Structure 1
Amino acid sequence: MTTAFRRFGKRLLASGTFQNIAAAAVYHTLRFIYWSNRKSAASDDLVDAVKGRLPVIIALWHGQQLLTQFVYPDNKSVAALVSRSRDAEINARILKLSGVRVIRGSGGRERAQTARKGGVRALKGMADALAEGMNIVMIADISKGAPRQSGEGIVALAKLSGRPIFPMALATSRYHVVEKSWDKTTVNLPFGRLCLKLGRPINVPRDASDADLEEYRQRVTDELNSVTDQAYRAVRNGA
């Protein structure tokens, strides 16, 4: 009985109809949560910050990104990288409902060689989107890797494209942390305060060496951790 139930559950989760319904439900719930939170006076203005620098690469942390698709007023000019894994399918559909273009990366269970090829294709896809004038939203830390430590992918994209990285964090005063998740996913809750913070733009030269890239990777890590702390401090203090 248990085996049959599990098989049914897997078929249900793989159903396009179920995924569309689930994505729509989550999208409207997140949208309500975003708009029910009062914006903090300490919030930065994303549109003003990136003016004259477009297109840009927005860097986020895993587990802190649930409301970020509602920040930018023109999502038709935004693209985001999403894994090809089955677990990420609903997330991709939520982003599409937000008007964000989805670029698929490699799946978490692919073999190493296939995953590398998928990563190269994803990097090229994002670079092409930037060349078209699209802004890229990218999770900086690597899934199932070290949380709150930037991977090399985002600085490689900045080097290849010549576009600046803007570290970004969004926090709400009311939230629930999923402690058992590897990245301590934060589920934002309604009827509180919301703060958006942006770090200093990071420009990676096209001639940056491997050693230089490591320095820029650490800079992305430091800036993202800094703006995350600033955002949570602001909503805690009622700023």
Structure 2
Amino acid sequence: MTGIEITTRKTIGRSSWPLRKRLWVKLRARLVTSDRMMSVLAGLVVAYIRLVYKSNRLVEFDEQRADRLLAEHAPVIVTCWHGQHFIAPMFTRGGEPSVAMVSRSKDAELNARVVEKLGFETVRASGGRASARMANKGAVRGILALREKLRAGHSVFMMADIPHGTPREAGLGIVSIARFTGAPIVPIAYASSRRHVFQKAWDKAVMNLPFGRAALYFGDPIRVPPDADDAKLEELRLELQNALNSLLDKAHATVDAPA
């Protein structure tokens, strides 16, 4: 009797998973299409980001070097990996808002709302992939708008890796944008001692938790020559990728070290 009951419960658990998945997909679709719900959710996310930002003690951040680097090379393309969204508040300190490039997909609408509430302007484009594929996705208008923002003196914040691609692998899109716009790329990495990693997420996204220690590192600017060929673009893509991984590993080592 007990064995039958256990088997029944297991069967129900397995069969109910597709139902739960369908319900989540339906709920997510409603969130994406409901302007009011999206605004409320974005507000909650921003409130949490600010809590994490203010409650974590920044144990490693060379603010003078960062300010000098951004001032000397501005406007720049500041970049990090997907799943590092809690870095964003660091770029609202300077008075004049930065510009964030956000994917054109409907799934990225929440990200756009969040960064706008944090004081960013947004440009909707898809910059992770190579330029030919970006054109196929209809992102040319967004890339041109990005260039105009840079020409107007606004630094840009964007992700280096390709959405739903390989985590911690830089795409060719960002170096292609740097070649097209003439703006140098500045890699950064942020980590906190208290964090939750979503292991099943494609980007191993991190939810930074409050009341811990944090570290933020800036890498050296990477310039892409306007006449860079495919081989040079690949070389600089790898340089950016290695720089981002090195900075993130360094940030993790800093916050995970005994206090």
- Using the size of structure 2 for normalisation, the TM-score is 0.83
Q: Name the counterpart of 2:47.
A: 28
Which of the two has higher C-alpha Rg?
Answer: 2
In the TM superposition, what are the counterparts of 1:50-199 in structure 2 within 5 Å? 50-64=70-84, 66-72=85-91, 73-74=93-94, 76-106=96-126, 116-199=136-219
Verify the 8 A CA contact 1:193 1:238 in the aligned structure 2: no
* Residues 234 and 8 of structure 1: CA distance in aligned 2, closer, same or farther (over 3 Å): closer
Matched position secondary structure for 1:67: helix
Offset of 1:14 from its aligned partner? 1.4
Alpha-carbon distance change, 12 to 78 in structure 1, aligned in 2, over 3 angstroms: closer
RMSD over aligned Cα atoms: 2.4
Q: Structure 1, unaligned stretches of length 5 or more? A: none
| CA deviation map 1:110-162 (0-9, x unaligned) | xx978624232222221111111111111000001111111111111111121
User: Shift of residue 15 of structure 1?
Assistant: 0.6
Shift of 1:210: 1.2
Q: Percent identity?
A: 41
Gap change, CA 1:197 and 1:24, over 3 Å in 2: same
Q: Return the alpha-carbon distance in structure 2 between the equivalents of residues 224 and 4 of structure 1.
A: 37
1:19 aligns to what? 38
Distance 2:159 2:173 in 1: 10
The aligned counterpart of 2:234 is: 214
Q: Which region of structure 1 is more displaced relative to structure 2, 46-55 or 159-168?
A: 46-55
User: Aligned partners of 2:224, 2:76: CA distance in 1, in Å?
Assistant: 12
SS of equivalent to 1:93: helix
The partner residue of 2:254 within 219, 222, 234 is: 234
* 2: CA distance, partners of 1:153 / 1:173: 31
CA distance in 2, matches of 1:8, 1:52: 47
Shift of 1:80: 1.0
User: Which range moves more in the overlay, 97-106 or 43-52?
Assistant: 43-52
5+ unaligned residues in a row in structure 2: which ranges? Answer: 1-18
Give yes or no for contact 1:75–1:99 (8 Å, CA) kept in 2.
Answer: no
